[in-house]
């Protein structure tokens, strides 16, 4: 039997309308940019797969390439954070677990970005 | 934002008959979640290169092993599938390809395109690299 309390009621507002619209737009913007980044990324991996440090530092140490990788990471992290948020909203019902998952999601996206940026800075400035 | 009232639920997988559009929708979400974790592969690679010769040699050994190569091959496919799935969403956003038949064609194109792109990239850059 259908649980009446779980049927949407038009006069009740679910979620955050402004945030959701922003996510909708940012998800498409970052997604479109990711198509360009993917082409660059395939080139980068093909160029450097299996390479030693000298080779890696030679390519990634180039400031322009390092900046592109840094932007790629930030763009991907933004995109994947919104995507995972959507999954959490769909499947994690318990309110406390829900907010815990959202926090962990933000933490993971930030951690990936910051760690990659630190690694890039190390390679660019100190070889 | 969490609300005090439980959010409305919709029927889940077991209710629906299998369709290719449904399968590609699920795979789009699945590849998205896999790529979420897959970003760690890039971070580990860059991090190892930053740390020194020893760590980078270990990462190259793991990524170059049969297990690493299978993971990277699947990651390539996930990346291409998710990218083409995104393009499909852009097509839908512009109110195209929503009619019966068109939807299915797009879903098949998504699947076949991702497999072809993956095989082409691996064949050109890995298997038959001159």
Residue A22 pLDDT class (50, 70, 90 cuts): very high
pLDDT at A11 over 90: no
| Domain assignment present for B9 | no
3-class DSSP assignment, residue A58? helix
Alpha-carbon gap, residue A59 to B39, rounded angstroms: 20
pLDDT at A2 over 80: no
Mean pLDDT per 10-residue run, chain B (130 residues)? 62 80 95 97 97 95 96 97 97 93 95 97 90
pLDDT, mean of residues A3-15: 67
Cβ contact A84–B7 (<8 Å): no
Burial of residue A123 (number of CB atoms within 10 Å: 0-12, 13-18, 19+): buried
> Is the sign of the CA dihedral A63, A66, A70, A75 positive or negative?
positive
Q: What CATH number does the domain located at A16-126 have? A: 1.20.1300.10
Residues on chain B touching A7 (C-beta within 8 angstroms):
8
Indicate the pTM of the whole model.
0.88
Interaxial angle between packed helices A95-126 and A53-60, expressed in degrees from 0 to 180 and rounded to the nearest 10: 100
Pick the closest to residue A53 from B120, B107, B58 (CA basis). B58
| Domain assignment present for B6 | no
Alpha-carbon gap, residue A93 to A34, rounded angstroms: 31
| Domain assignment present for B3 | no
Give the residue, B71 or A50, on which the prediction is more confident: B71
pLDDT at A10: 65
Cβ contact A28–B90 (<8 Å): yes
CATH code at B84?
Answer: 1.20.1300.10
Number of domains in chain B: 1
Cβ contact A116–B121 (<8 Å): no
ipTM of this complex > 0.90?
A: no
Phi, psi of B95 (to 5 degrees): 55, 35
3-class DSSP assignment, residue B32? helix
Q: Any idea which of A2-6, A39-43, B114-118 has the lowest mean pLDDT?
A: A2-6
Alpha-carbon gap, residue A91 to A76, rounded angstroms: 22
Which residue among A7, A115, A123 places its CB closest to the CB of B43?
A115
pLDDT at B5: 65
Alpha-carbon gap, residue A109 to A86, rounded angstroms: 14
| Domain assignment present for B97 | yes
**B96 lies in which domain range?**
18-127
Do A94 and B18 meet the contact criterion of CB atoms below 8 Å apart?
no
């Amino acid at each position: 039997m259908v649980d009446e309390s779980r049927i949407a009621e038009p006069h009740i507002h679910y979620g955050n309308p402004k945030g959701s619209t922003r996510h909708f737009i940012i998800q498409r913007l970052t997604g479109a940019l990711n198509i360009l980044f993917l082409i660059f990324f395939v080139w980068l991996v093909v160029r450097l797969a299996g390479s030693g440090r000298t080779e890696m530092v030679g390519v990634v140490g180039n400031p322009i390439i390092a900046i592109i990788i840094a932007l790629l990471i930030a763009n991907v992290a933004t995109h994947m954070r919104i995507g995972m948020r959507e999954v959490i909203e769909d499947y994690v019902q318990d309110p406390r677990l829900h907010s815990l998952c959202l926090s962990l999601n933000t933490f993971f996206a930030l951690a990936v970005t910051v760690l990659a940026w630190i690694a890039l800075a190390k390679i660019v400035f100190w070889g | 934002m969490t609300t005090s009232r439980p959010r409305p639920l919709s029927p889940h997988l077991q209710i629906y008959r299998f369709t290719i559009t449904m399968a590609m929708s699920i795979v789009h979400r699945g590849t998205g979640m896999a790529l979420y974790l897959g970003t760690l592969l890039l971070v580990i690679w860059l991090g190892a290169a930053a740390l020194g010769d020893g760590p980078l040699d270990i990462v190259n050994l793991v990524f170059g092993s049969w297990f690493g190569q299978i993971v990277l091959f699947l990651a390539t496919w996930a990346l291409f599938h998710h990218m083409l799935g995104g393009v499909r969403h852009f097509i839908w956003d512009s109110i195209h390809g929503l009619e019966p038949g068109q939807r299915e064609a797009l879903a098949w194109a998504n699947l076949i395109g991702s497999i072809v792109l993956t095989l082409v990239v691996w064949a050109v850059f890995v298997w038959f690299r001159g």
